[in-house]
Structure 1
Amino acid sequence: MKSKYIFFAVSLFAALSANAQETYENAKLAGEDLNGTARYVGMGGAMEALGADISTIGTNPAGIGLFRHSNVSISGGLLMQSDGKDFSNGKKTNLSFDQIGGVYSTRSGQKSFINFGFNYHKGKNFDYILNAANSLDGSSQNKQSYIKGMLANENSGGFFVDKNKYGENIGYVNSTSENVAYTWSQIDYLYWNNLIPDKNTGRLNYESASGYNLARANTGYIGNYDFAVSGNFNDRVYLGLTFGMKDVNYKGYSEYRENFSNAGGVLVRDERKITGSGFDITAGVIVRPVAESPFRIGAYVKSPTWYDLTTSNNTRLVYSPSTTSVRSTDSSISNSYDFKMWTPWKFGFSLGHTVGNYLALGATYEYENFSNINSRVNDGGYYDYYYGQYYESSTADKNMNAHTKEVLKGVSTLKLGVEYKPVSNVALRMGYNYVSAMYDKDVQKDPGIASFGTAYASATDYTNWSAINRFTLGVGYQVKNFNIDLAYQYSAQNGSFAPFSNIRNISIPSGTTTVTESNVATTTDVKNNRSQLLLTVGYRF
């Protein structure tokens, strides 16, 4: 049986001195929304060969070379979630500022141009409310922490619990080590210091749960700032290069409740932030193979985004015991650390064709292998006294990256779009955008990995999301040098939510013998269905 089906796999690598972020947290930052100008969205994003739209600056910058005039545009609108319930820290409908940018076009010959462009667009909008509830039939979040402690060894996916000098229960690598195990998470700390040891007798036990309920509000964005130069040679070959910078602002707040089988329950309030920046480089080309035909072929490649990030959390556990002999507790823990993440390379191929001045057709295919996401450790650096700068070094987190290769996979994106002009100054648009699933089948979060991604974990839940289907409509109106464009996008995605990972028939020590334990979470079907209304106003010089 592959290790991705097993909750606690034996570690294949020695623990690093410091590690990085967890796979499911990294996946939140991967990929992009379909966003930009209303024309680009209205055509499903299938403009990487057609070009002449500022939004291609971040996909195929050769498209900037098709501008014949300088241009500026600004876009914004509404993002609306069709499911879920309004939460104290999030709303289902939100205003969004999505794009601002322009192209400066210069003629370098009779048929040649050199164009310069800048564009900001919201590459990812995190605004989303997740609700999930189901039965548990005796399993529980605290039982997961209990079993990890019973395993008593980091190499088995657990930890050895002992008191530190402050009288707190701490999970160590094993019974002889003084080092804290990387499998000892923040949620484990809260359970082992508030629930698992009986406050009166010290006896180790766990509470079974009958059901759970989770509400989470995600907010924030990834902002893309792209600078490009593009050349047009004899109106046949277009080349482009973009240098992009990214600004990450993510915040998630959740309330997870479990009702115990007998009485009482637990409430875990968790707030996590991820902030930081990144940069990438994109190169592209568009070619008209036949001089007499407007048919165009485009190709492009995007480098990894090299992220430098900080994650922080504050987690609070409120425990109401099932017996009056044990008092209720309210405890919290918070932490922060820096890490790096490199996304995979992205490759794209596109086709575009126009018929007269009334019809445009576009198609694009992209591929990005998310199993190659590289979690990295900030493990040192050096100070350059000559330039007066500090340079931070990093190494790959082998443990977490091995898990990422089992959980995530390559993703294909298909974009199709059409634009029809019934009259010269009115355009009608329609598009379809499909993104295949990022997550492999039968995968789950693994809190038995020796990594900072595990040690700093403050939540045990995860969601395996399926493919995304996006349907778009748009309309544009040109009046003198102004253009006004409106687009509507409907995005549908299903997912499977689990409050914690499954343990099935695992043997743990119990005195001189062993016992078999299972802790199986009941999954819940969830949806991420959203609508977007987007308005763009542009001006051509």
Structure 2
Amino acid sequence: MKTRIIALAVTAACASAAVAQSQYEALQFMGNELNGTARFVGMGGAMSSLGADLSTMSTNPAGIGMYRSHDVAVSFGFNNTRTNADFAGNTTKENRTRASFDQIGFVWSTKIGNKTDLRYLNFGFNYHKRANFNRQFYAKGALNGASMTYQMANMIGNAGYTTANGFNGLLDAGSDVDNRNPYTHSDFYSTPYLAMMGARTGLVDANWDKDGNITQIFGWNGETGEYYSREEGGINQYDFNLSFNIRDRFYFGLTLGLYDLNYNLYSSYGETMNRNMQDGSVTYHDKGDFTLNNWYKAEGTGVDLKLGTIIRPFEYSPFRFGLAIHTPIWYTLTDRYTAAMTSNIALDGKNPVSYSENLSDYFYPDMNYVWDYSMVIPWRFNISAGTIVGGIMALDAEYEYEKYSSAKLKDREGYELNATSSISETLKGVHTFRAGMETKLTDAFSLRVGYNYQSSPIVEDAFRNIEATDNTRTVASYMNPKSRQAVTFGLGYRGRLFYADVAYKYDFYKSDFYMFDDVALQATKVTNERHQLLLTLGVHF
């Protein structure tokens, strides 16, 4: 059973537009997947102290200072994502394979002199896919009485509906903006959209006494629940680097990062339900079902700076260590979302009556709820150490820390959104460990292996508190991911001019998924896997 770990209130004085996000949207966009050149991926991303690879400008910018010649490379491949979901003993599987364009970049290396303090001044650019959102997910099973309709009913009760007139006023509100549109009129600011849709499709009912005072607000008993989602898009990262080499022992770098975010979600939740209604000595047996469809799109851009250094403390030793600091990423984002709900209700075995509610009928001219906001991703710190053994083996190990709980969500006027409190209470500091090895098999061919571990970003009992953080959203589902691991392998060829690398990555983690928020609803146990095959082609001259 989940323990309530946050208790935030939304008052009637708080406009609905002021609470349009949750910690789950922030977490979705804070991910930083292992991706880039095949050499970088093949070593598990552990190259921050070794440098001399295009992808290092996104982890430690000083790595580009290691270059002594020009370099151009492009990477592409395939991603296969798999999810296995176990809900109350009912197991479902989803599998999706997509081609991907993962990286393109170059370094222009300028030699200053052999005996000057400044030996090389280098410029670089690199694009890579920071996050890949492409995934399908499906879960189905018995609800054993838990129901999304009870979440809707609780939200109606907490919104302050105490009289029959008030409740019926919500049901009778019109779709015309000038006629108390329930999704825009100030009378309903305290009512979450999900709850309104439920009440207006017959999924939430109320009883009241002879004076018109509500005595009970209730939903239904859930029989089975079925959830499907399809996610698409990603975060594209564009890095511009300046780095330099001091006496072949001290390397410094600066990277300006630009980000392009594009995310699309379609989800569908269906539920069958029943209830027994007592009227005096007569019991009525009601049956019903409903389907909730959601469409959500996020677009935006971001910017950050990365500073790094690599130092060889001993002149005649290949040992070196690296330090890097990444400023927060400042995102400016726009969300568009809408939803449609249909229900079929049969009272005491009578012919079912159908209801429907479509948010696109209430928002003009875009037909979506549109929300502009900003998001600040936390500082990131990286320390690394590496060396060359016998001139044929390169080793690197590193640690990275990012305090997810310090992320912030703000409206366009700069005021923090309520969800920032949820972020600070439920998200955690994330620890990342990476280790990689590259060894020469011949003068031309190399073998690589790597390992990447990232700790869980969220507390185990976190939940989506729609009333407090995102009451204009109608997505009730949420997923709490656990620690994430990746194992990588790679092969490389180096010629006088041309080089080619190939890498394989197996990325896996478990998570707890909930179709909606109910303390009686057990978690769907999900295993997430991604197989990536990556090829890099390059020229150094």
TM over 0.5: yes
Q: How does 1:54-133 map to 2 (within 5 A)?
A: 54-83=54-83, 92-110=96-114, 112-133=119-140
Q: CA deviation at 1:248?
A: 0.3
Secondary structure of the residue aligned to 2:462 is coil
1:273 aligns with 2:279: no
Contact 1:134 1:524 in 2 (8 A): no
1:129-278 mapped onto 2 (5 Å cutoff): 129-153=136-160, 161=167, 163=169, 166-167=173-174, 178-182=186-190, 184-196=191-203, 205-261=218-274, 263-278=287-302
What are the superposed Cα offsets for residues 89-119 of structure 1, whole Å, 9 maximum, x if unpaired?
x960000000000000001121610000000
- Tell me the secondary structure at the aligned position of residue 263 of structure 1: strand
User: Aligned letter for 1:92?
Assistant: R
Aligned match of 2:358 in 332, 335, 349? Answer: 332
Describe the shift of the 1:196–1:170 C-alpha distance in structure 2 as closer, same or farther (beyond 3 A): farther
1:460 and 2:459 matched: no
Give a deviation string over 1:448-495, Cα, whole Å, max 9, x none.
21x4xx122121011100000100000001222111100000011000
CA distance 1:372–1:179, shift in 2 (3 Å): farther
Matches of 2:83 and 2:248, distance apart in 1: 48
- CA 1:94 to 1:172, structure 2 compared with 1: closer, same or farther past 3 Å? closer
SS at match of 2:188: coil
- Which amino acid in the other structure matches residue 298 of structure 1? G
8 Å CA contact 2:232–2:264 kept in 1: the answer is yes
The residue matched to 2:45 in structure 1 has which SS?
Answer: coil
> Match of 2:29, as an amino acid?
L
Contact 1:163 1:170 in 2 (8 A): no
State the match for 1:358 in structure 2: 392
Per the alignment, in what secondary structure is the counterpart of residue 220 of structure 1?
A: strand
Tell me, yes or no, if structure 1 residue 478 matches structure 2 residue 494: yes
What is the distance in 1 between the residues matched to 2:11 and 2:217?
30
Shift of residue 151 of structure 1?
Answer: 2.6
* 1:395 to 2:402 alignment: no
- 2:11 and 2:394 map into 1 onto residues whose CA distance is 53
Structure 2: stretches of 5+ with no match in the other structure:
86-93, 209-213, 275-285, 360-367
- Give CA-to-partner distance per residue, 1:147-170, whole Å, 9 cap, x none: 12123439x9xxx74626844798
Which residue matches 1:416? 435
CA contact (8 A) 1:263 1:322 kept: yes
Q: Distance in 2 between matches of 1:470 and 1:427?
A: 20
Q: Kindly indicate whether the alpha-carbon contact (under 8 Å) linking 2:323 and 2:384 is maintained by their aligned counterparts in 1.
A: yes
Tell me the secondary structure at the aligned position of residue 32 of structure 1.
coil
* Residue 302 of structure 1: how far off its partner (Å): 0.4
Deviation at 1:12, TM superposition (A): 10
TM-score normalised by structure 1 residue count: 0.85
Q: Give the Cα separation in 2 of the matches to 1:418 and 1:73.
A: 21
Aligned residues: 493
What's the TM-score, normalizing by structure 2? 0.85
Is the Cα contact below 8 Å between 2:73 and 2:104 reproduced in 1? yes
Q: Match of 1:376?
A: 410
SS in 2 for 1:448: helix
Partner of 1:37: 37
Tell me by how many angstroms 1:11 deviates. Answer: 6.0
1:18 deviates by 2.8
> Do the aligned residues in 2 keep the contact of 1:410 with 1:438 (CA within 8 Å)?
yes
For residues 301 and 270 of structure 2, the distance between their equivalents in structure 1, rounded to whole angstroms, comes to: 34
Q: Which whole-Å CA distance do the structure 2 matches of 1:251 and 1:309 have between them?
A: 13
Output the amino acid matched with 2:308: G
CA contact (8 A) 1:198 1:326 kept: no
Q: 2:48 — aligned with what?
A: 48
> Cα 1:295–1:497, aligned 2, differ >3 Å: closer, same or farther?
same
SS in 1 for 2:466: coil
- Worse-matched range after superposition: 220-229 or 370-379: 370-379
**What's 1:367 paired with?**
401
Call closer, same or farther: CA 1:121–1:161 in 2, change over 3 Å. farther
SS of 2:441's equivalent in the other structure is strand
| C-alpha distance in structure 2 between counterparts of 1:132 and 1:198, whole Å | 28
Q: CA deviation at 1:78?
A: 0.4
CA-CA distance at 1:131 after TM superposition = 1.7
Q: Tell me the distance in 2 between the aligned counterparts of 1:23 and 1:8.
A: 14
Output the CA distance in 2 between the equivalents of 1:482 and 1:290.
33
Question: Match of 1:509?
Answer: none
In structure 1, distance between residues paired with 2:219 and 2:307: 56
Identical residues among aligned pairs (%): 34
Once the two structures are TM-superposed, the CA of residue 443 in structure 1 deviates from its matched residue by 1.5
Q: What's 1:384 paired with?
A: none
1:417-455 CA-partner distances (Å, limit 9, x unpaired): 000102111000000000000011212111221x4xx12
Q: Distance in 2 between matches of 1:197 and 1:532?
A: 46
The root-mean-square deviation of aligned C-alpha atoms, in Å, is: 2.8
Q: Which amino acid aligns with 2:104?
A: I
Per the alignment, do residues 332 and 360 of structure 1 end up closer, same or farther by CA in structure 2, a change over 3 Å counting?
Answer: same
Q: What secondary structure is seen at the aligned counterpart in 2 of 1:78?
A: strand
